[in-house]
Structure 1
């Protein structure tokens, strides 16, 4: 088996900021698993990452004498898997629109090396590529269904023992060991529900599939979970959510609405935080693009909040339709917030925005992580410092 390496596509990576400031593209979650977990599962192999230099200590690359490099934005399915595993050495697989999907080589390779000398192979199908941040929630329903089918094949769900919990289409619900569910409604008529080990579904929660909740995560009392929602591991979610993806380790623990949105890790939304996901004139939503530093038309009627890692919102924060919040932002105050809040910003639209002092931001980030019994070390500090310097010009505009 060749060494499996997931590479950041140089065009897609900046389009996936601010979420890719702190991780390789393949560490994004869409559906039940991250892209890297999907590939590790279908290939039954560990993976490594070809990513930005400042991330490479935390996410190293491991070459061998036989290397299978796969675009980190690409989600696997049976057709693409066959085409990739059939690749011969020194050949490269391309989509119909010219995207490099994968290559196989006996040498170390980087994206800047190009594909000169590789035998081109053309993939006839339409691959699922996470090219834009809004693709994460737009493709989430299909990815939950695909992951559910693969992960539950020939496996038996744990039982629901609570007599006050009601299930619709129970055969489309899979529960791992250690899950606690109390007096809730699970409706899998329109899509599967997957509940990971040690998750807690508290009293009065109402869940519509497709839905995934990760290990150790909690649905607070009376949570309303609308379809196409993914909650990563070790999160707490309450209030009303719809078609959102939370990568992991983040909280939206109180009442308030969040729809058509993506939250990174280590985020927190204060009580009664709400976002708009639909414009009053029903026109397509435009979103700040880090690739062009301009607004980009998503082509979607519904698009809410994109929030990078370590960012937090105070109580009763209101986010406009199509708002992008960078890494390590502390946003608060009255009125709707700006549609783009750069990384390491402090304040709000009404109070004004200032730079979040790096040492203060670092202390808060480290404290947030350590409280979850996760290590926060020198490598994490260096990553945040690089992002702070890289985004300084954004805050001065």
Structure 2
């Protein structure tokens, strides 16, 4: 029995608000989430997931994995740091590891290791220290694999690395593909269309700078222009949009306007004009018409981002916005460069947003923000989900209530 075990550590806080309602390894980085990359590329017989305890009920509900239970794990374990990007090359390197060996990046962070289950007692902590794995005294091999430290690294990697192309290579090899319909204007060869996708005449797709994958049940209407590398998820509708390089649209999104180097995690809407770039948008987010984010400062300076209670210098010129799950933005909202919007926020008005809006906030910059009442936030979440024929489960409702408590200090500052 060989178990694949993916865990998160203390640096999960660097990825808030997108990790309030999911483990860090369930963030999408390319066509696949970090966990999916590991699952699909590393041979294993069983899957185990370790996460913060308050997430465990929802993770058990969504997966068939062993969750936070060392007693169910025995024998050989492939241990994967949930912040690691398991590319095809890294997966090959992992396959060469012997028991007692680890892949470590240039910063000394664990990427993956092969160990005996009895060595994993340090995982009993909710969020172990970054270097807690070192107590296993493993033989280390150096790798150039990426271990994410901050959320803003994801859109940068989408645009500047081959993470999307690497995922598309894996997915397209296993997909039922069809040809482009008549009337679609295409440039380049690496355009992959899954059976069941509908692309209307007049759509323009360019794979000159990277591949494009269009999933089943998706719909693309003119005058949409898609530039690769880009990924369009299952059931997503792209309506007259400009999809720039580095864009990943998860399942069941509604997208219009212009999107560049951005992840829409899934089940979110930006159906109208407006620009979102170098950003990460969570699930069940609605972005109103003409709402736009800035991803470049007027003075071409580097961007600072709010991370776990303080402003952090990114050292990057192009950083957009980060919007937590279940947040709603009305028409014409202006998102400042590097804006962080918490979960379950309701923002309206044409004013420029603050750099940070705490979770469960209601209001705008001019009038100020009040607390978004918890029961009303949950009711809105359930309504939006029902429109996509998805039920808000009891475990998910309890998770929202728990995170409301955990984020109370944000709203008191």
TM-score by length of 1: 0.94
1:38 aligns with 2:58: no
CA distance in 2: counterparts of 1:391 and 1:343, whole angstroms = 7
Match of 1:380 in 2: 396
3-state DSSP class of the match of 1:346? strand
Instruction: Tell me the number of residue pairs that the alignment of Structure 1 and Structure 2 aligns.
Output: 391
Match of 2:74 in 1: 65
1:268-292 CA-partner distances (Å, limit 9, x unpaired): 10011011111011000000011xx
Match of 1:238 in 2: 256
1:49 aligns with 2:67: no
Alignment of 1:1-397 (within 5 A): 1-11=1-11, 13-45=12-44, 47-60=47-60, 61=67, 63-66=72-75, 67-103=77-113, 104-107=115-118, 108-111=120-123, 112=125, 114-115=132-133, 118-141=136-159, 142-153=162-173, 157-161=177-181, 163-169=182-188, 171-182=189-200, 183-220=202-239, 222-290=240-308, 293-397=309-413
Deviation at 1:306, TM superposition (A): 0.3
CA distance in 1: counterparts of 2:252 and 2:89, whole angstroms = 33
- Unaligned stretches of 5+ residues in structure 1: none
3-state DSSP class of the match of 1:98? coil
Inter-CA distance 116–381: structure 2 relative to 1 (3 Å threshold): same
1:282-324 CA-partner distances (Å, limit 9, x unpaired): 000000011xx11111111111110010001001111001100
Deviation at 1:117, TM superposition (A): 5.0
3-state DSSP class of the match of 1:336? coil
Inter-CA distance 230–79: structure 2 relative to 1 (3 Å threshold): closer
CA distance in 2: counterparts of 1:301 and 1:20, whole angstroms = 24
CA distance in 2: counterparts of 1:160 and 1:94, whole angstroms = 43
CA distance in 2: counterparts of 1:123 and 1:91, whole angstroms = 7
Confirm or deny: 8 A CA contact 1:36 1:47 kept in the other structure.
no
Deviation at 1:378, TM superposition (A): 1.3
Deviation at 1:150, TM superposition (A): 2.3
1:43-72 CA-partner distances (Å, limit 9, x unpaired): 254633210000011224264213322101
CA distance in 1: counterparts of 2:277 and 2:249, whole angstroms = 13
CA distance in 1: counterparts of 2:176 and 2:329, whole angstroms = 40
TM-score by length of 2: 0.90
3-state DSSP class of the match of 2:49? strand
3-state DSSP class of the match of 2:58? coil
Deviation at 1:386, TM superposition (A): 1.1
Deviation at 1:382, TM superposition (A): 1.3
Inter-CA distance 19–218: structure 2 relative to 1 (3 Å threshold): same
CA distance in 1: counterparts of 2:133 and 2:31, whole angstroms = 33
Confirm or deny: 8 A CA contact 1:50 1:110 kept in the other structure.
no
CA distance in 2: counterparts of 1:209 and 1:345, whole angstroms = 36
Deviation at 1:35, TM superposition (A): 1.2
Structure 1 consecutive aligned stretches of length 4 or more whose deviation exceeds 6 Å: none
- Unaligned stretches of 5+ residues in structure 2: 61-66
3-state DSSP class of the match of 1:4? strand
User: How much is the aligned-residue C-alpha RMSD, in angstroms?
Assistant: 1.8
